[in-house]
Amino acid sequence: MTAETFTATVALIGIVILVSSLLSGVVERTGVPQVAIFLILGATLGPYGLGVFDLALESPRLRAIATLGLVLVLFSDAIGLDLGEIRRNRKLALLVLGPGSLIPAAIIAVASHFMLQLHWAAAAIIGASLASTDPVLLRGLLRRKDIPAQARIGLRLESGLNDVVLLPIVVLSMMLLRPPGAEEHLSSARLALGLLVLGPGAGVLIGLIGITLLDRVRKKFGVRRDYESLYALGVAFTAFAAAEALGGSGFLAAFAGGITVAALDVELCDCFLDYGEATAEMFLLLTFVAFGASLIWRGLEVVSVRTVLFAIIALAARTLVLFPVLIRTGIDRESLRVIAWFGPRGLSTLLLVLLPVFAGIPGSEQLFTICCLVVLLSVLLHGSAIGLIIRRPETPDLALRAVTAGGGSVPSTASFVAARPSHSQPATNANGASGPTATDGAEPPELVTIEEMQELQRAGEPVVVLDVRTPRTFDIDPFIARGAFRMPPDDAVRLARAQGIPWKATLVAYCA
């Protein structure tokens, strides 16, 4: 890498971070698809714009970016899954992952074989890639509180799990496209073993080792939460590297490692979602910029009546399949419409179809170009539709109110933090000593005991108790203190306003 290339790469990373930060509020309020913004940013910086950088399909940098991007997509999907939610909605999960993913993949494969004259194995690759629902495009929609609960669950399960269902189809089809020969059959058998056994096994093993080490260090010395999120990313990349070294699938290892963490260490999951997810999202947006420089626009070069008709079939197949599949589940009509319509194709599609390109499979560049056309149309159609929904005003969720546990108890593992108002007077704690005197500015939060909180209440000071556990932790133990407000940390400000919580009060927050 030359000095100029290194400088351009660092500048690109800086620009992505600056732009994503500055536009975060605009994207949230207007509903403009974030992906579209970064594709345009890539085009502006690419060879058709300012010429800051350009990535060819054979570029080692593209391979590194795409590989790390797919690892992050699969790991983030896995670690963000709520296994309890999957168990409670297993019928819906099986439908969206089984017929909801495999039948559209088969329809797209058949259409590409007859309309585009592709080999059956190549058609299977393009079918599996285009059946992948993109979690990055769906992120803004799933964050809305007024989306029907069943729709949110269905889309979250599909976007979080269907990549791991479709990835084996891509890898196995790549084996069939290799030239025949005894050595190739041997390597194919090894690849199948790596795909089905070594990859997931390495991911589970690295996940278990990582959790065990973290648990011991956490108990003995303590670990900062922001560093726990980085630790989770370390598990993902280590699992990938270990599986690749053993001849297995590093991508399935990353997913298996994430599932292991999600199943065994809720706190590490929450840390990743609180801190590490932003890091992963920055990298995925960087990947969109890299594609937007020139690669994704290749899709416009193959525009014809036949390819556009194929793209329409590829985008419509999932909707046509999910309506009859889900209508018998008893799901409400609004949820059915949302799930069936919002299946955007985006980064995960491009990352999957790049695997045969990097493997040197003949004709794979054509597959990539066709997928680029479908992704561009999906960003336009699904992105604009998601934008219209996000632009719609949200209805305040006033139903989130306190639940009384037996005897007014709180979780035994709860820890309390109090934030006192700037106007408060010195408080007397349970030991009779005066508490800290308020200054003109707000005081930092401090740890308090239950007895100290009760003493404040007896002294007549306004005290508001907040349950700030994450949804995943709350689902495990849904009992909260009597009179407490349920205040998930990812939506605290909006809920505080909706509940009318006074700002001139002592706020006592607890989490497990």
Query: What mean pLDDT comes out for the span 224-253?
Result: 87
Least confident interval from 51-60, 253-262, 323-332, 407-416: 407-416
Q: What is the pLDDT of residue 424?
A: 39
Confidence class for position 189, pLDDT limits 50, 70, 90: low
Query: What mean pLDDT comes out for the span 341-350?
Result: 88
**Structural domains of the chain in order of their starting residue, each with its CATH number:** 3-53+65-390 (1.20.1530.20), 406-511 (no CATH)
Task: Check residues 323 and 452 and name the one with the higher pLDDT.
Answer: 323
Phi, psi of 417 (to 5 degrees): -130, 130
Cβ pair 249, 199 in contact under 8 A: yes
pLDDT, mean over the chain: 78
**pLDDT tens for residues 403-447?**
333 333 444 444 455 555 544 333 333 333 333 333 344 455 667
Query: What mean pLDDT comes out for the span 189-208?
Result: 80
pLDDT over threshold 90, residue 342: no
Q: Which residues are CB-neighbours of 282 under 8 A, at least 6 positions away?
A: 16, 17, 20
Confidence class for position 199, pLDDT limits 50, 70, 90: confident
Strands 415-419 and 463-467 come out as unpaired
Query: What mean pLDDT comes out for the span 31-56?
Result: 80
**pLDDT tens for residues 73-87?**
888 888 877 777 788
Cβ pair 351, 291 in contact under 8 A: no
**pLDDT tens for residues 272-305?**
766 667 777 778 888 888 888 889 999 999 999 9
Cβ pair 355, 367 in contact under 8 A: no
Q: Which residues pair with 419 in a beta bridge?
A: 507
Query: What mean pLDDT comes out for the span 322-345?
Result: 86
pLDDT over threshold 80, residue 498: no
pLDDT over threshold 70, residue 98: yes
Question: With the C-alpha atoms ordered 11, 15, 18, 21, is the resulting torsion angle positive or negative?
Answer: negative
Rounded to a whole number of angstroms, the CA Rg of the chain reads 25
Q: What is the pLDDT of residue 417?
A: 55
Q: What is the pLDDT of residue 294?
A: 84
User: Taking Cα atoms as reference points, which of 446, 414, 441 lies closest to residue 427?
Assistant: 446
Cβ pair 344, 383 in contact under 8 A: yes
pLDDT over threshold 80, residue 101: yes
Q: Which residues pair with 428 in a beta bridge?
A: 434
Least confident interval from 95-104, 111-120, 492-501: 492-501
Task: Check residues 381 and 328 and name the one with the higher pLDDT.
Answer: 381
Q: What is the pLDDT of residue 181?
A: 54
Give the type of residue at 16: V
Q: What is the pLDDT of residue 427?
A: 36
Q: In what order do the strands lie in the sheet with 485-486?
A: 446-448, 415-419, 506-511, 463-467, 485-486
pLDDT over threshold 90, residue 121: yes
pLDDT over threshold 80, residue 39: yes
Q: What SS3 string covers 96-116?
A: HHCHHHHHHHHHHHHHHHHHH
